[in-house]
Amino acid sequence: MQRVGQHNHESGGIRSAKETTARIERLEGGMMDLRIRPVCDNDAEDLVQLSLLAWVPIFDSFERILGLNIYPLIWPDWRISQRAAIETVCKEGEKTRVLVAELEGMVVGFLAYELNIKDKIGEVQLLAVHPEYQNLGIGTELNNFALNEMRASGMKMARVETGGDPSHAPARRSYEKAGYTGLPLVRYFKDL
What string of pLDDT tens digits covers the 192 residues of the chain? 233 444 433 333 333 346 666 655 554 555 578 999 999 988 999 999 999 999 999 999 999 999 999 999 999 999 999 999 999 999 887 789 999 999 988 999 999 999 999 999 999 999 999 999 998 999 999 999 999 999 999 999 999 999 888 889 888 988 999 999 999 888 899 889
Structural domain includes residue 104: yes
Structural domain includes residue 41: yes
Total tally of structural domains belonging to the chain: 1
Instruction: Identify the domain containing residue 61 by its residue range.
Output: 20-177
| Contact assessment for residue 136 and residue 173, using Cβ atoms and an 8 Å cutoff | no
CA gap 61, 186 in Å, rounded: 16
Structural domain includes residue 188: no
Say what the pTM is.
0.83
Residue 140 φ then ψ, to 5°:
-65, -45
Structural domain includes residue 10: no
CA gap 92, 107 in Å, rounded: 20
Closest Cα partner for 109 from 128, 125, 93?
128
**44-54 and 56-74 helices, crossing angle to 10°:** 90
Structural domain includes residue 114: yes
Q: For residue 165, what is the domain's CATH number?
A: 3.40.630.30
Cα 58 off chain centre by: 13
